Amino acid sequence: MPLTCQTLIDRHSQLWHQATHHPFLEQCKTGAIAQSQFNTWLVQDYLFVLEFTRMAARLVTLAPVADMDGLLGGLGALKDELEWFQAKAAQRHLSLAAEPQPTCETYCIVMKQLAGAPYAIQAVAFWAIELAYNQGWQLPGPMVEPYDEFANRWGNPGFTAYVKLLEQQADAALEALPESDWAKAEAIFVKVAELEIEFWQLAFNA
């Protein structure tokens, strides 16, 4: 049976559920999240997205021509996202020159270490990260202000379609990945899920 993105979700359904359903997101839905906790997450997520943007740029250099258009579109969206983070931080009077918390630092190291991995493994990691945001922000349902803006950024139909494209690209890359490397693709999916859980949780370390 070929390895696919859906296979990875099915094999690790409980872990993935935890990665996309977290008290942080539920409290954003109801507005119960403390402002200091949300601000902690916001600053750390900005630091994460900086490294994620570098990962996206590396992925473009490895991608087959058929995948480049979608990835370049995503890279352009990340430019806008970084500017959006900066605007949100300014509105909240937050400094983005913060030190990464251990979870953020670990996540960034994992992304850096993927640099030498086959394209398929990097594509799986990239898809899984974007899917975690996409599902995490939309599965709780409509959120109250001001968190509805954040939910719409990553849970809107356009972003959902982009994540579906990433899944198709990752699946195509997995078809060409030697079976001997399937365990590595599965391991990075599991690692992303574990880190997503920890990243939502770091909001409570404010």
Residue 44: domain span: 36-205
pLDDT of residue 205: 83
User: Which amino acid is present at 199?
Assistant: F
> Does residue 54 lie within any of the structural domains?
yes
Can you list the positions of beta strands (E) in 55-140? none
pLDDT of residue 164: 98
Domains in the chain: how many in total? 1
C-alpha 122/C-alpha 115 separation (Å) is: 8
Q: Assess contact for 107 and 48: CB atoms under 8 A.
A: yes
Confidence of residue 1 (pLDDT cuts 50, 70, 90): confident
> Does residue 192 lie within any of the structural domains?
yes
> Does residue 13 lie within any of the structural domains?
no
pLDDT of residue 167: 98
User: Which amino acid is present at 206?
Assistant: A
> Does residue 1 lie within any of the structural domains?
no
Is residue 106 left, alpha or beta, with left meaning phi > 0 and alpha meaning psi from -120 to 50? alpha
How much is the average pLDDT of 101-111?
Answer: 98
> Does residue 9 lie within any of the structural domains?
no
The H or E element spanning position 94 is none
* Peptide linkage before 157 cis (omega within 30 of 0): no
pLDDT one-digit tens code per residue, 25-50: 999 999 999 999 999 999 999 999 99
Confidence of residue 206 (pLDDT cuts 50, 70, 90): low
Q: DSSP assignment, residue 195? A: H
pLDDT one-digit tens code per residue, 50-59: 999 999 999 9
CATH of the domain at 119: 1.20.910.10
What mean pLDDT is reported for the chain?
A: 97
Q: How far is it between the farthest Cα atoms of the chain?
A: 52
pLDDT one-digit tens code per residue, 123-174: 999 999 999 999 999 988 899 999 999 999 999 999 999 999 999 999 999 9
- The percent of residues above 90 in pLDDT, for the chain, comes to 97
Q: DSSP assignment, residue 179? A: G
C-alpha 176/C-alpha 158 separation (Å) is: 28
Instruction: Give the CA angle between residues 60, 64, 69 to the nearest 5°.
Output: 60
